[in-house]
Amino acid sequence: MSYEEGKKNKAMVRFQYTVMTKASPGLAWKVFSNWRSWNQFANVYGDLRWREGKPWKAGSRMEIELLHPVNVVIDHVIASCTPGERVGWIDHAVGVAMGQWLTFEGRAEGTRVHTWGDIVHSGVTIAGRKVEHLITAFTEMWYENFRAACDRLAEGFAEAGD
């Protein structure tokens, strides 16, 4: 494929998703930042490991192995992080680049967790589906399961305090 053909096939797609949890921003961050438990939000992970730097510090690199729908390793680079407030990262894998941000905003009823990102690729399909469809469906599932886990913990803390 020539450079001009590649430019024509490039796609940039923005996505966003928001959940409200009963958890405080600190508890929501604690749940999110525990990458060892991510399989409870989406049972697709193989090996997850920090390859370079300290977890959640700008410039740190994590390797994220996905087992489904195809086996692939994502290079996950932290761009910025303020624990309990926001984190941003850049992912690269299989000809796809994605910049994503996540914020934790305290509210009277808990925490608004909002994520958004930009996906750039050259018409890549995985398991017969467009990358942006896979990522948006995955994002919705992951964050709904994350919300449910945060809510369960927040309710448990509330009951323990009664």
CATH architecture for residues 11-161: 2-Layer Sandwich (3.30)
Residue 156: the pLDDT is 87
Q: Look up the pTM and report it.
A: 0.89
pLDDT of residue 8: 57
Say if CB 56 and CB 80 are below 8 A apart.
Answer: no
pLDDT tens digits for the chain (162 residues)?
Answer: 333 444 556 789 999 999 999 999 999 999 999 999 999 999 999 999 999 999 999 999 999 999 988 899 999 999 999 999 999 999 999 999 999 999 999 999 999 999 999 999 988 888 899 999 999 999 999 999 999 999 999 998 766 654
List C-alpha distances in Å: 30 to 26, 34, 38, 46, 85.
6, 6, 12, 21, 11
Residues 6+ apart with CB under 8 A from 3: none
The answer to whether 63 touches 49, Cβ cutoff 8 Å, is: yes
End-to-end distance of the chain based on CA atoms, in angstroms?
65
Residue at token pair 């925490």: 111
Nearest-CA neighbor of 63 among 52, 119, 118?
A: 52
